[in-house]
Amino acid sequence: MISLRVEPPSALPYDVHVGRDSSLLVNQSVPEGVSKVFVVSQENIPRVDLSLDADVFFSYVENGEAAKSLSVAGNLLEQMSKLSLGRNDLVLAIGGGVVSDLGGFVASVYLRGIRYQTISTTLLGQIDASIGGKTGVNLPTGKNLVGSFWHPSSVYCDTAMLDSLDEREFKSGLGEMVKYEFLGASGLSLTSLEDSIARCVSLKADFVKEDEREGGRRALLNYGHTFGHALESLGILGAIDRITHGEAVAKGIRFAAHLAHLLGRIDDRGLDEHYEVLSKFSLDISIPMSVTIDEVLPFIVRDKKSRGSITFVLAQSHGEPSVVRDISTNDLEAALQALHRYS
């Protein structure tokens, strides 16, 4: 087991425990003063052997993004109130990114904020969603539009939980993992799963310590997300086959590599390297020929980094990627054409 510390500037430091059966540590880590634990989870998520020195109440939410809604959050808050959870009590989110975003959000607003912990059960959750303090729910107009920064008091990345994760969801996590390869954690596909998760957690913790509110460097964690989110949205709307978040990120990294190449930020070698790294994770990085820049543009312009102009995180030959603004639609078009020609 590997334990790492996250030190957010605005909150108490907390530990992330990575390894098989690390979730059992929760039984020894209930904070002082907790008399009730409100567990938020989903029916299909493997059960954790909880033996907590507190009254434990379970609430199961539906699967998928639909659970990240104001109505589901409101329902959970009412349950917490009816159970008379107090300021000293605890929310325990057991699940992937959907459950940790939702559980963290209700913990952050109930009685103006109570403690929460997460047992993260998906690869994507373990390397990304459970760390960094972003919690939230969706609105019909977009993902994660309502939320808060609220840090857990402990995170358990139990790798045994990943045994029951279906292959597509596991690969979704790998799609998110690829971005860390370009942010300073190379060779992740060559090491043990526990080690690669821990390295991602450690890198994300560094970003959070330096830029908790995403005013600067933390935005680099969105590498591959601008074009990726647009594809994900097209999938939700039914314009292309539905894709997972991690699948979208991997495809988005491929697009970003071509855009960086076109803009002269990386050379041929840099472009080839992107393909080499993506291939090590055996991900499907195909982008349907039917996708046009006109279709993805509205999502790219609404991206949270955009501030009204077309903005991408792009690689450069020397140093880490950086945020690039005022990209033209012609460049996007040319990058997409180049991507389809590349072999």
Ligand X SMILES: NC(=O)c1ccc[n+]([C@@H]2O[C@H](COP(=O)([O-])OP(=O)(O)OC[C@H]3O[C@@H](n4cnc5c(N)ncnc54)[C@H](O)[C@@H]3O)[C@@H](O)[C@H]2O)c1
| H or E segment and range at residue 228 | helix 225-237
Q: d(Cα 257, Cα 208) in Å, to the nearest integer?
A: 25
Minimum CB distance to ligand X smaller for 132 or for 252:
132
Beta carbons within 8 Å of 275's beta carbon, 6+ residues apart? 254, 257, 342
Minimum CB distance to ligand X smaller for 246 or for 261:
246
- By CB under 6 A, residue 141 contacts ligand X: no
Q: d(Cα 1, Cα 159) in Å, to the nearest integer?
A: 10
The minimum distance between CB 123 and ligand X, in angstroms, equals: 8
What track of x and - describes contact with ligand X for positions 186 through 205 (by CB under 6 A)? --------------------
Return the DSSP state at 69: B
What separation, in Å, do the N-terminal and C-terminal C-alpha atoms of the chain show? 41
Which residues inside 18-47 make contact with ligand X, applying CB under 6 A? 42, 44-46
Six token digits for residue 342: 């590349």
Binding-site member from 36, 245, 254, 265 for ligand X (CB under 6 A): 245
Beta carbons within 8 Å of 67's beta carbon, 6+ residues apart? 42, 61, 98, 99, 102
Six token digits for residue 97: 């990114």
- By CB under 6 A, residue 159 contacts ligand X: no
- By CB under 6 A, residue 96 contacts ligand X: yes
- By CB under 6 A, residue 73 contacts ligand X: no
* Bridge partners (DSSP) listed for residue 55: 36
- By CB under 6 A, residue 103 contacts ligand X: no
- By CB under 6 A, residue 68 contacts ligand X: yes
- By CB under 6 A, residue 93 contacts ligand X: no
Binding positions for ligand X, rule: CB under 6 A = 42, 44-46, 63-65, 68, 95-99, 101, 121-122, 124-125, 128-129, 132, 134, 143-144, 161, 164-165, 169, 172, 245
